Amino acid sequence: MERQWSGNPRRLSQADRSEIERLIWGGETFATAAAAVGCSTKSIQRFLARTGGLKRRVKERSALRLSLADREELSRGLVAGDSLQTIATRLGRAPSTISREVAWSGRHGYRAWRADSEAMKRGRRPKPAKLAVDSRLCREVERGLRAHWSPQQISARLICDYPDDLDMRVSHETIYKTLFVQARGALRKELTACLRTGRTQRRPHMRTEQSGAGRLQNMVLISDRPPEVDDRAVPGHWEAEDVRAALTRQISKLPAELRRTLTWDQGKEMADHVRFSTDTNMVVYFCDPHSPWQRGSNENTNGLLRQYFPSKADLSLHSAAHLNAVARELNNRPRQTLNWMKPSEVFCRSVASID
């Protein structure tokens, strides 16, 4: 019979907690569970929040695993001097299963009860977080996070930096879980501030009509751009959002081999693109309307910049030193399109090959 909640808060008993867990595991709502034990839904929410959610159910041992009876039979076979093949046949198991089982303690030190206990401990979850038990790996992950690298970039770059050290491996999922589940106790909570919050959804902007009024003249569309630009792996094909004069100044500092093409959207700031091409000997290609994905590196970099500067921020409020520091940090982030090399590394390699 269901108990009615009196409206007065009370401490949940152990029996109440067990009943709440049983009901919710069975698919009942918080309201139904609250009515059953005579408490409020808020009490259930506080209970689950305090205990970290529902405890993992203890599953029955799979038939694929060795049971205690199997291990006792294995122990008797070892004492009798039977071969592992013979024991495996008698138990109906693969010889490799019996071989791995005995390898944990050795043929002469095998004890069924101890082996069963150790197997249960090895299968227990959750296991200690990898970052909590490996301080060297944890320091490398922290270093990457403080440089605003994503967990995926950190995971991939560790393989590049430590190709022969299998201990220096961690998945990006493990990094995320360690950050957000503080019970793992390896990465400090403040490091979550180093993660990107995600690119904001692009909003539609007013476009000029197809009559041609206000459109740039003499444009070379992106469909005519060299095919090697598409994979973004060859330096020298530039995408930028600066005014013509400043861009001309900066581009002119580069070796001629790294001044190949420039890709732009159809913004008014590049209306003088013909003069820019004349001054720099670089062809300017323009994206098709409503096609921002055609400038992959630019769109990706815009998302990265939002981590430092909000949309429509006035960059004149920031010093040149700060802007240069942000540029250095971005140029030292591994990029998937570069096989997890850093843009600075690829650029230096390209410059070196020119020399």
Q: Indicate if 176 and 298 belong to the same structural domain.
A: no
* Pair 90, 73: CB distance under 8 Å: yes
Q: Indicate if 158 and 264 belong to the same structural domain.
A: no
Three-class SS state of 237: strand
Neighbours of 148 (CB within 10 A): 19
* Mean per-residue pLDDT, 236-248: 64
Q: Indicate if 259 and 338 belong to the same structural domain.
A: yes
Three-class SS state of 277: helix
Whether 275 is in a domain gets the answer yes
pLDDT, tens digit, for every residue of 180-214? Answer: 665 455 566 667 667 765 432 223 334 444 445 55
Distance (Å, rounded) from C-alpha 275 to C-alpha 254? 18
* Pair 37, 24: CB distance under 8 Å: no
Q: Indicate if 301 and 261 belong to the same structural domain.
A: yes
* Pair 125, 56: CB distance under 8 Å: yes
Neighbours of 200 (CB within 10 A): 10
Q: pLDDT at position 223, please?
A: 62
| Structural domain total, the chain | 4
Average confidence score pLDDT of the chain = 78
Q: pLDDT at position 155, please?
A: 92
Q: Indicate if 263 and 151 belong to the same structural domain.
A: no
* Mean per-residue pLDDT, 270-297: 80
Three-point CA angle 292, 295, 299, nearest 5°: 70
Structure tokens at 320: 């040149």
Q: What share of the chain is helix, strand, coil (3-state, %, to 5)?
A: 55, 5, 45
Between the ranges 148-152, 204-208, 350-354, where is the mean pLDDT highest?
Answer: 148-152
DSSP letter assigned to residue 135: H
Q: Indicate if 138 and 77 belong to the same structural domain.
A: no
The sheet that has 220-221: what strands, in order across it?
Answer: 220-221, 283-286, 261-264, 237-239
Whether 266 is in a domain gets the answer yes
Asked which of 83, 99, 122 is the last residue of a domain, the reply is 122
Distance (Å) of CA 5 to CA 13, 19, 35, 258: 15, 15, 6, 75
Distance (Å, rounded) from C-alpha 61 to C-alpha 120? 10
Domain coverage including residue 263: 220-354
Whether 86 is in a domain gets the answer yes
Neighbours of 110 (CB within 10 A): 19
Distance (Å, rounded) from C-alpha 103 to C-alpha 108? 10
The confidence band for 55, taking pLDDT boundaries of 50, 70 and 90, is low
The confidence band for 305, taking pLDDT boundaries of 50, 70 and 90, is confident
Q: Indicate if 142 and 225 belong to the same structural domain.
A: no
